Structures are given as structure tokens and as C-alpha cells.
Amino acid sequence: MIRVIYYAGVRERVGTFETRIEGFSGTLAGLLKHLEEHHGISPIDSTKPENANILSVLIFLINGRHVAHIGGLDAPVCEGDIVSIFPVIGGG
């Protein structure tokens, strides 16, 4: 099982704290597609041009590691992984 945990505004958008997925193995990009197709969950509005590069509007961790360091959207997601999704937060 893969656990996908949503935080802050992402949780509000998808309407749940967590999604559990059985039998998936692939990449982060594949997982996001799976979430949309099989669970009706998309962490962003993909119709907005500013969301075209999902890595610029969301932070993804796989087992606590930022995906920028493990392959980006091509990062592998396997049985037992925990994927955390956060909005990018700015401030000053």
C-alpha cells in the first residue's frame, strides 16, 4: 500500500487528509495520473496555465525526501512508500 498524505491547501482542495493506494508501482507522475483517474483527486487545477509545471506549485516528498533529489516527476514510487504533498508557501 502507498499512503498519499495531503497538507494545508492541498488537503482542502482534495477534501481528505490521506489516500491509500493498493497495487501501484511506478513514478510520481504515474501516481498523480492514477490519483486523478481512479480516485478523482488532483492536487492542483491542471487547467490553469500557471500550474503547468506542477513542481513549481507543489512540494512532493517520498519517504521524507524531496523529489528534486530523487528524480522529480520520474522519482520511483513503490509499495510501502509515503508520499507527502504540500503547497509551496512564500513569505517574507
Check residue 81 and give its pLDDT: 98
Check residue 69 and give its pLDDT: 96
51 pLDDT more than 60: no
- Element containing residue 12 per DSSP (H, E): helix 8-14
- What is the DSSP secondary structure assignment for residue 43, as one 8-state letter? S
Give residue limits of the domains in the chain. 2-87
Mean pLDDT, range 54-78, rounded to an integer: 93
Pick the CATH number of 2-87 from 3.30.70.120, 3.40.50.300, 2.20.28.10, 3.10.20.30: 3.10.20.30
What does the mean pLDDT of the chain come to? 87
Per-residue pLDDT tens over the stretch 12-28: 888 899 999 999 999 99
Res. 66 pLDDT band, cuts 50 70 90: very high
The verdict on pTM exceeding 0.85 is: yes
- Which three-class secondary structure state does DSSP give residue 37? helix
